[in-house]
Structure 1
Amino acid sequence: MQIHNLSESPSILNTFMSEIRDVNIQNDRMRFRRNIERIGEVLGYELSKSLHFEAHKTETPLGNHSTSLYKNDIVLCSILRAGVPLHNGLLNYFDAAENAFISAYRHHKNNPESFEIIVEYLACPSLEGKTLILADPMLASGQSMVATYEALKPFGTPKDVHLVSVIGAQKGVDFVAKHFNANAHLWIADIDDTLNEKGYIVPGLGDAGDLAFGNKLQH
């Protein structure tokens, strides 16, 4: 897998990342969602440089202009619910993309420190020969990304696979790198060192879904 860690080159992205991590700012849900969306736009822009481009002639009022436009058939898939703002940011740039949505959550059995990934709702167009962009803001253990990709396999074999995340733990990055082939790409805004005993990224930012949409009802 090819890993593109955007934090290695300072940019305006650092401002958005600092704000989603900052406990004094992140509790403004509207700003949190918008920052995740803006991060998705930056990641989408960088990802676009790896797509397939072909020459295209545009007729202007005064003549013709030749430029290069991407020709990939894109399917953008996000993991509910935390993935929605990130999905929107990517969709702002890939507005012609088809869309897929999947729910994947941690199911804790007897031990609160261990869990399995449960996939329930899934809506997806054909992936055969297309470019799949799989978006999940928090790449913690990496299990959700892998479980989601496995669930998508009945819909066809994509030509290209791109994973997009906001923050990852090194353990999660290593996990997905083992489960995706060498031609897959991971586009990520920052990578943190560790996971805590509950599987959350440290220092991370907390629960992205709760920060974006409010606390979940606990069962």
Structure 2
Amino acid sequence: MQVHVVEHPLIAHKLTQLRRTETPSHQFRDLTKELVMLLAYEASESLPTQGVEIETPVTRMTGTRLAGPKPLVVPILRAGLGMLDGMAAMIPTAEVGFLGMARDEQTLDIVTYAERLPHDLTGRQVFVLDPMLATGGTLAAAFHYLKEAGAASITAITLLAAPEGIERLQREAGELDVRLYTAAIDEKLNEKAYIVPGLGDAGDRLYGLAE
């Protein structure tokens, strides 16, 4: 698995605002969209392209367009849904699927409660959106699910990652072509498996409601 920490002054600035306790939900959502757009720019560098003949106001030329098959964007519900607008803004032609996965706070096991994906992902490039890579359980489960469906490559985009989660994904990715793009790798997980220093519960901060 390839791990990319996207370092940029705008990302660092926006992430700092995102972390602040006093940042309200509406601003948190806006910052998340902006961060995802910046991360998606880097994460989409391997999208296949093809030449296309076009007319400019001056002459005819060969330009570039995204080639098929269409990429698939898969937010992990519920918090990953807050990242979808930013991704769709960058790749508006992508298809969107959904995986509903939740962590049992007592056992830390991952429970899949919803799924809406194409039956066959053979040859598809899949972008998985999840704000926090903490224990790695959710993304690892998503990777296995998508691999069984035939995904050719998987790119995960997170706002933050913990070393423990990265280590688990590296173990479980195996030979699967996986890339991780994140704005920062934080210090550690605490006893409740929250990222430190982190930004709290991303879902609650996005939507203002407790799970």
**Could you tell me the TM-score, scaled by structure 1's length?**
0.89
Matched, 1:22 2:20: yes
Shift of 1:71: 1.7
SS at match of 2:185: strand
String of CA shifts for 1:58-106, please: whole Å, max 9, x gaps: 2223322322333252010011111112122111111111111111111
Normalized per residue, which structure has more strand?
1
Q: Is the 8 A contact 1:119 1:148 kept in 2?
A: no
SS of residue matched to 2:169 = helix
1:49 Cα shift? 1.6
How far apart, CA to CA, are the structure 2 residues paired with 1:30 and 1:39?
A: 14
CA deviation after TM superposition for structure 1 residue 53, in Å = 2.4
Counterpart residue type for residue 169 of structure 1:
A
- Tell me the SS of whatever aligns to 1:44: helix
Q: 1:128 is paired with a residue of what secondary structure?
A: coil
Give the letter for the 1:53 counterpart.
T
Following superposition, the deviation at residue 51 of structure 1 comes to 2.0
Q: How does 1:1-219 map to 2 (within 5 A)?
A: 1-6=1-6, 9-25=7-23, 28-72=24-68, 73-108=70-105, 112=106, 114-125=107-118, 126-154=120-148, 156-180=149-173, 181=175, 183-217=177-211
Q: Which amino acid aligns with 1:68?
A: T
Unaligned runs of 5+ in 2: none
Q: What displacement does 1:149 show?
A: 2.5
Question: % of aligned pairs identical?
Answer: 29
Unaligned runs of 5+ in 1: none
Contact between 2:152 and 2:177, CA under 8 Å: does it hold in 1? no
SS in structure 2 opposite 1:209? helix
Query: How many aligned residue pairs are there?
Result: 208
Kindly state the Cα deviation for residue 205 of structure 1 after the two structures are TM-superposed.
Answer: 0.3
Give the Cα–Cα distance (whole angstroms) in 2 for the partners of residues 182 and 102 of structure 1. 19
Give the C-alpha shift of residue 182 in structure 1: 6.0
Q: C-alpha root-mean-square deviation of aligned residues, in Å? A: 1.6
Give the distance between the partners of 1:46 and 1:152, measured in 2 at CA. 22
Q: Aligned in 2, Cα 1:182/1:130: closer, same or farther, shift over 3 Å?
A: closer
- TM-score (normalizing by structure 2): 0.92
